[in-house]
Structure 1
Amino acid sequence: MIPPEQPWVLAREALSRAAARWIVDTLSDRLEAAGHACLVPSAGRTPLATYAVLRDRYRNAIDWRCVHLVQMDEYMGLAPDDPRSFADYLRRHLVEPLGIGAFTHFNGADGRLLRSPAAYERGLPPIDLVVHGIGRNGHIGFNEPGAVFTSPTRAVRLSPSTLGANFAVDADRQACAMGVTLGLRCLLAARQSLLLAWGVEKADALRRALCDTPSSRCPASGLRLTGRLIVMADPDAARLCIPVVAGSAGNSGTPKWEYHAGAHID
């Protein structure tokens, strides 16, 4: 197992392998302890390589039939089989190829919510692992800047930066302007959180998440308050943050970080 107190900064391919192994180890431990596990994975571009490793190397490593996959966020109005939907992404990359036993998603075939956001949250089992990406503005899920750490599962209007990063076509940005997301109170309650960040375009967001005082200005910064966070980043994403002492941790069990303008990790 990767030490929980040590942030990992590795080349992208190696990091994808390390992340996949850590996900499998974490789920395996939970399956051994409880017989079942609840996984909430990001449906962004960052974890695609990690999910490919899960499919290629770990299809038979655990009993995926005992894993319950819960959708973290979705665009309102999209059916689960719409290729723009996160439900379709999760089904193609994880649920079907791994043979995951249960998949809870937000929308029905007509694109409408199957249940209210509050009912969706109430019906969830305890979350064992969340796999996060991080938006350029510091969002996790569709919890945009301004979301408080106690925010519930809810419908949200998406920021122009989020829509611009996710869609190249104006018509898609207009059609998907509203989303629904697990709230921060739900995400921060997970037993374990894995935060993945690739590329120089995520460097400032990761710096704010790991180095600034946690606040609603950067929703991802709330993950540090849990004491149950693993951070994996490539050198480009981690270029503005370095550990004070490799493997050191504060009283909360989270890494000690400091900000070094222009610093690089080789």
Structure 2
Amino acid sequence: MCETCGCDAGTGAGGTARLTTLPAPDHEHGHGHGHGHTVTLDQKVLAHNDDLAGRNRAWLGERGIVALNVMSSPGSGKTTLLERTAADLSAGSPISVIEGDQETLLDARRLSAAGARTVQVNTGTGCHLDATMVARALAALEPPDGSTVFVENVGNLVCPALFDLGERARVVLMSVTEGADKPLKYPHMFRGADVLLLNKIDLLPHVDFDMTACRDAARRLRPGLRVLPVSATRGDGLAAWYDWLAETRRAPT
């Protein structure tokens, strides 16, 4: 059982989390080579999480690697955003993804096809990634020095907010199909955000969503929070998102 959130993460004493590494496609030939490999990991959930997160941060910093923890509720569009980001930016700078899901390789395959070297972490019944999982995933992923690593956390607005993974910054994503009061209902998640992406703005004409109320609620929790309206499918606002990524990469650690 997870000592913090009470979930049966499937990674306690005698439990396992599963990692599967998928290579990015060969851009010259248009396909990847091989089928990756799967590693079974025995680990205790939350064992020295904060200490290991600090070690992750130091390891990443020594190599000039920027890690970003991407969090949202299920269906907000994390994978679509990262798929589009990898397709648009990976040719200029290597992008890797640690993909967290309870089961399947579906999202990891999408991200690999988009140009990102990807490792899938399947948590079983677990509702979040922790620093131990990320450390093992980084070892399997072997991201190049000076690159960007996105950690796509398990879809959940509660537990992932509690776990430091060693990331440079936290990206919170929500869609306009969710309630504008979501920041007030899940304050810990939004209070810890470094940027908030309001996704699926192409659907605004069809949903009842108060953009101003949502932005104001988030900024009451995190004054000055950068809020970026985007459509990951249509491309609206992605230039501002890419500018934020560039600023974050240039910022001193």
Scaled by the length of structure 1, the TM-score of the pair is 0.38
Scaled by the length of structure 2, the TM-score of the pair is 0.39
